[in-house]
Structure 1
């Protein structure tokens, strides 16, 4: 994925956190969906997904629907919904019939970056020094697989001290500061 696409996905996740006034973890993706007037559907109720599909977004009569495979774990479902939000907020192209997005590797990767950065914002994890996959999984309520990708990226960011260079990231930290301070004081008490 080229760096421009990566930055767009990352920045869109920060804008989403800011615009929807998310200030604690785990992020409630269903709240973002409802505030966006998107209809969230369990596949067990509509049976639209193929066996190997985790989720899709449909547009019917100008209305957006996210369908997700509710047979998967809650943590996996949360990532799937965030991934579909990524497609929507990044403005990816719908197929001509409105049944899902045009699938490209770049679009899928950028939706994954959006979902990862929305559910596990690096700047918040950095402030809390939550850096292992297990810790990230617990705090952010994401799968260990998704948390492992985030933990690997966190190692790279920590090595480069690549934080707070963008004004949106600084705004996200400011928005989460009460949560961060509360978590820090809780961990000190637990000692």
Structure 2
């Protein structure tokens, strides 16, 4: 994925956290969808996904619907919903019939970056020094697989000290400050 697409997805995740006033982890993707007037539908209720799909977005009568494979783990469902929100907020184009997005590798990678950065914001993890996959999975309520990818990226960011360079990232940290302080004080008590 080219760096421009990566930056757009990362910045869109920060905008989403700020715009929807998310200030604690785990991020409640159902709350974001509700505030954005996007209806979440379990596939078990509508049976629209094929076996290889985890989720899709449909538009009917100018109304957006995210269908997700609810037989998967709660963590996987959360990532799928965040991924679909990424497609929506990144403005990926719909197919002609309004069913799903015209997918490209860049669009899929961008939606994955958006989901990762929405559910496990690096700046918050950095502030809390939550860096292992197990810790990230537990705090952010994401699968160990997704948390492993996030942990690997966190190691790179930590080596480069690549934090707080963008004003949106600084705004996210400011918005999470109370949560961060509370978590830090809890960790001292647990000693």
Q: Map 1:158-177 onto structure 2 (within 5 A).
A: 158-177=158-177
Deviation beyond 2 Å, 4+ runs, structure 1: none
* RMSD (Å) for aligned C-alpha atoms: 0.3
Encode CA deviations 1:9-43: one digit per residue, 9 max, x unaligned.
00000000000000000000000000000011000
Residue ranges of structure 1 left out of the alignment (5+ in a row): none
1:133-166: CA deviation from partner (whole Å, max 9, x where unpaired): 0000000000001000000000000000000000
> Which residue does 1:80 correspond to in 2?
80
In structure 1, C-alpha distance between the alignment counterparts of 2:161 and 2:38, rounded to whole Å: 37
C-alpha separation between the residues in 2 aligned to 1:114 and 1:45?
27
Q: CA deviation at 1:103?
A: 1.1
Distance 1:37 1:103 in 2: 23
Residue aligned with 2:30, SS: helix
Aligned to 2:150: 150
Q: TM-score, normalised by structure 2?
A: 1.00
In 2, the alpha carbon distance for the partners of 1:53 and 1:3 equals 27
Cα displacement (A) at 1:121? 0.1
- Give the structure-1-normalised TM-score: 1.00
SS in 1 for 2:176: helix
In 2: Cα distance, 1:138 partner to 1:69 partner: 22
Q: In structure 1, what is the equivalent of residue 126 of structure 2?
A: 126
Match of 2:89 in 1: 89
